[in-house]
Amino acid sequence: MKPFGQLDDPRRRILIQALTAGFFSTPWGAAAQSIFGSAPQRLPPGQSIYRASGRVLVNSQEATLATRIKPGDVVETAPGGELVFVLAEEAFILRGESRVVIENPPPSSPLKTALRLATGKLLSVFGRGRPTRIVTATATIGVRGTGVYAESDPEQTYFCTCYGVADIAANNDLQSKETVSATHHDRPLYITAKGAAGGRIRRAPFINHTDQELMLIETLVGRTPPFVFPMNDYNAPRREYP
């Protein structure tokens, strides 16, 4: 992938020209992108949102592709909605019926990003050397240079360290904590609100996110994931004609 700032890729140049001209702000341009998709590229500076579908609110205002997202914002999606967005060197897919608060860590904090996923589902990738904290209803997770997927509800959190390292702790039980070092979805976990001391973290299956999605959002911030081949769970029957 070419370094950020170089415009010699014609597709990227066309994309930026289209953005400048407001192409994707037109209803038909956005609709075409929504229906047929687009070839993902690193987002140009000043653009936070790659794709928004359904009803999406940023600070209670309806979001468009021109909306900027920054620390301190609250991002919400309605049922069936989805938001694919970038914040500095981090990129996210926020699924429907979700609410995430992007906190603004104080300058003295070692954290570069802090997220509070009150409810819903969030796929995230983070830049190397950028310590991040994710707080859900039942867990607090410290990550650095990773791809992770979290689902949060008041009773439990689903958390998959897709790759990288994550320090996971139950919010209401200091004894329930675990460090996961993963290369490819090695150890998805549930972190529950209730349970015996030291027993609130348990194994979970791999659910609700794909390697293609991780590749997509890494592309938006000019990176690639550490694996080359995606897992392919989709398997429509391809019966051959005898």
Partner 1 sequence: MRRGGSIPSRAGFAVATALVGAAVLPGIAHGADVEFTATGIEASFTSDRNVSRSSADERLSDTFFGVRVSKGFLLPVSTRSRAVFQGFAGGEKFRTYTGLSHAFIGGQGDFQYRSSAEFAAATFGAFFRTQAEYYDSELRDGYRHVFGLSVLKPVTDRMQFFGALQQNISDGKSTVFDTKSTSLRGNLDWSLGRSDTLYLGAEYRRGDIVSSGTQSLARINVADALVQDDAFSDQGYLAYRFQSNTWLATLGYNRAFAERHSVDISYRRVQSKPLHPSAYGSVSDVRYVVNQLSLAYLMRF
One of 45, 106, 107, 239 touching partner 1 (CB under 8 A): 239
Applying CB under 8 A, among 134, 180, 216, 221 the residue interacting with partner 1 is: 216
Q: Which is nearer to partner 1, 50 or 176 (CB)?
A: 50
Looking at the Cβ atoms of 37 and 72, the one nearer to partner 1 is: 37
The position carrying tokens 């590749």 is 215
Query: Does 122 sit near partner 1 (CB under 8 A)?
Result: no
Tell me, by CB under 8 A, how many residues bind partner 1.
Answer: 34
Rounded alpha-carbon distances, angstroms, from residue 103 to 45, 109, 133, 240 = 21, 12, 10, 52
Considering Cα of 100, then 33, then 147, then 85, what sign does the dihedral take? negative
User: Amino acid identity, residue 2?
Assistant: K
Residue 112 sits in the site that holds partner 1 (CB under 8 A): no
Task: Kindly state whether residue 79 participates in binding partner 1, applying the rule CB under 8 A.
Answer: no
Q: How far apart are CA 10 and CA 20, in angstroms?
A: 15
Only one of the segments 13-21, 33-41, 109-117, 136-144 lies at the binding site for partner 1 (rule: CB under 8 A); that segment is 33-41
Contacts 24+ apart (CB under 8 A), 226-233: 226/163, 226/183, 227/163, 227/183, 227/184, 231/184, 231/185
DSSP assignment letter at 24: G
Q: Which is nearer to partner 1, 26 or 208 (CB)?
A: 208
When asked if residue 28 is in the footprint of partner 1 (CB under 8 A), the reply is no
Q: How far is the CB of 227 from partner 1 (least distance, A)?
A: 6
| C-alpha span between 76 and 128 (Å, rounded) | 27
Footprint of partner 1 on 154-213 (CB under 8 A): 205, 207-208, 212
Nearer to partner 1, 196 or 236 (CB): 236
Per the CB < 8 A criterion, the answer to whether 14 and 33 are in contact is no
Residue type, 158: Y
* Smallest separation, CB 84 to partner 1 (Å): 9
Closest CA to 176 of 164, 190, 162: 190
User: Any contact of residue 8 with partner 1 (CB under 8 A)?
Assistant: no
In angstroms, what is the minimal distance from the CB of 220 to partner 1? 9
Name the DSSP class of 36.
H
Q: How far is the CB of 237 from partner 1 (least distance, A)?
A: 5
Q: Does 78 bind partner 1 (CB under 8 A)?
A: no
Query: Contact at 8 Å (CB) between 188 and 209?
Result: no
Residue closer to partner 1 (CB basis): 115 or 214: 214
User: Three-state SS for 130?
Assistant: coil
Which residues of the chain form contacts with partner 1 (CB under 8 A)? 1, 35-40, 51, 82, 95, 205, 207-208, 212, 215-216, 218-219, 224-229, 233-242
